[in-house]
């Protein structure tokens, strides 16, 4: 009963609390705000990946392509077009969804590891393509001019409150979509395809259509995150937004948190992002790469002892607690 209430109200309460945070003066200038924004953004990115990678069971390393298209959409509108980023971001989202369907359709004919390898290649293809495509800046990338702080431009010089609200909106939107899909017919079909494509098809589920729809939605959301990323960093270039490095961020956060679970992406981001940011900020002084060594070590330990991610740890702890509770009365007797 109790856990049911938490399951029902936990997410809206969290979003509400996040939205109220600036009222307490926590958000504004400074590093803490930066870390919070990155947590929310990365949680949203991982959740986007989780839709196809976790619920759909299609491990994609290609998400930086969609992320990059979104980032370029916003940046192109601002840097080349001289407009507000919104139209460009929307175009980027639509293009990303279309591209994802076009490239995934042949790739979905591959299974398991072969699909993953194909997505690796797709990232490389797009990376090279964007590197030599002068219309969008090529290897030079696109740099934002200095604009006035406003919601219209979606840039702020120092105060991060605007970015924070933006990140909360993206986070809430993405998680709400997944929350809805978990209970929707589409979500069940998708999980059925993951568990056994042939079985699902024999029961009348069109597996290709399910996977393509999930991929398109996942790509659109990834592109939205990309547009935010470009606005936040004032710059896009292929090595940053459209590379295997960026794809890894999608996958790593989701896997660390626990794939195919609702809270996994958030938990993964909650652990990984502060770890990444604070180790760099405070340990980089010690010398070259100490931060990266510690960061890597924690990930290795995590994967070694609990491949189910943080959600795996939590459910193991809960199982133990339940076992202990059910044993207690016997002992008392």
Binding residues for other proteins (CB under 8 A): 29-31, 34, 128, 131-132, 138-141, 143-146, 157-158, 229, 233-235, 237, 239-240, 277, 280-281, 284-285, 288-289, 291-292
Task: Extract the tokens encoding 309.
Answer: 């991610």
Q: H helices of the chain, where?
A: 2-20, 31-50, 63-75, 85-107, 113-132, 161-183, 185-195, 197-202, 207-233, 238-241, 244-257, 264-283, 290-305, 309-332
The burial class, CB within 10 Å (0-12 / 13-18 / 19+), for 2 is exposed
On whether the CB atoms of residues 59 and 248 are closer than 8 A, the answer is no
| C-alpha separations of 313 from 57, 152, 323 in Å | 21, 43, 15
**Cβ partners under 8 Å of residue 283, min gap 6:** 290, 291, 294
* Alpha carbons within 13 A on the beta-carbon side of 118: 16
Q: How far is the CB of 284 from other proteins (least distance, A)?
A: 4
**Which H or E element spans position 236?**
strand 235-236
**Looking at beta carbons only, is 75 or 93 nearer to other proteins?**
75
The set of residues, in sequence order, having a beta carbon less than 8 Å from that of 313 and lying 6+ positions away, is: 306
As given in the structure block, the two tokens for residue 38 are 């990155």
Residue 1 or 146: the one with the smaller Cβ distance to other proteins is 146
Q: From the CB of 291, what's the least distance to other proteins, in Å?
A: 8
The token duo for 28 is 């504004």
Shortest distance, position 85 Cβ to other proteins, whole Å: 16
- Of 84 and 215, the one with the shorter C-beta distance to other proteins is 84
Q: How far is the CB of 171 from other proteins (least distance, A)?
A: 19
180 versus 282: smaller Cβ distance to other proteins: 282
Q: Which is nearer to other proteins, 252 or 259 (CB)?
A: 252
Q: Pick between residue 21 and residue 147 the one whose CB is nearest to other proteins.
A: 147
The least distance separating other proteins from the CB of residue 68, rounded to whole angstroms, comes to 13
Shortest Cβ 11–other proteins spacing (Å): 28
In the complex, the smallest distance separating the C-beta of residue 7 from other proteins, rounded to whole angstroms, is 35
CB-nearer residue toward other proteins: 102 or 157: 157
């Amino acid at each position: 009963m109790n856990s049911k209430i938490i399951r029902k109200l936990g997410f809206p309460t969290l979003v509400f609390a996040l939205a109220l945070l600036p009222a307490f003066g926590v958000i504004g200038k400074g590093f803490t705000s930066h870390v919070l924004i990155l947590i929310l953004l990365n949680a949203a990115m991982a959740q986007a990946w989780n839709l196809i990678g976790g619920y759909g069971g299609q491990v994609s390393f290609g998400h930086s392509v969609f992320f990059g298209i979104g980032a370029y959409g916003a940046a192109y509108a601002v840097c080349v077009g001289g407009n507000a980023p919104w139209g460009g971001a929307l175009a980027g989202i639509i293009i990303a969804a279309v591209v994802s369907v076009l490239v995934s359709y042949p790739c979905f004919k591959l299974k398991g590891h072969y699909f993953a390898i194909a997505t690796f290649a797709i990232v490389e293809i797009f990376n090279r393509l964007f590197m030599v495509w002068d219309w969008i800046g090529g290897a030079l990338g696109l740099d934002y001019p200095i604009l006035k702080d406003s919601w219209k431009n979606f840039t702020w010089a120092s105060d991060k409150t605007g970015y924070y609200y933006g990140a909360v909106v993206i986070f809430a939107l993405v998680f709400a979509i997944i929350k809805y899909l978990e209970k929707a017919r589409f979500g069940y079909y998708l999980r059925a395809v993951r568990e056994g494509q042939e079985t699902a098809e024999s029961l009348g589920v069109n597996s290709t259509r399910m996977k393509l729809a999930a991929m398109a939605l996942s790509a659109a959301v990834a592109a939205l995150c990309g547009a935010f990323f470009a606005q936040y960093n004032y710059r896009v270039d292929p090595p940053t937004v459209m590379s295997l490095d960026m794809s890894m961020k999608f996958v790593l956060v989701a896997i660390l948190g626990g794939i195919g679970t609702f809270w996994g992406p958030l938990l993964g981001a909650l652990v990984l992002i502060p770890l990444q940011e604070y180790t760099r900020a405070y340990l980089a002084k010690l010398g070259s790469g100490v931060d990266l060594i510690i960061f890597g070590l924690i990930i290795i330990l995590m994967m070694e002892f609990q491949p189910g991610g943080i959600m795996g740890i939590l459910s193991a702890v809960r199982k133990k607690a339940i076992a202990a509770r059910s044993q207690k009365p016997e002992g008392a007797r």
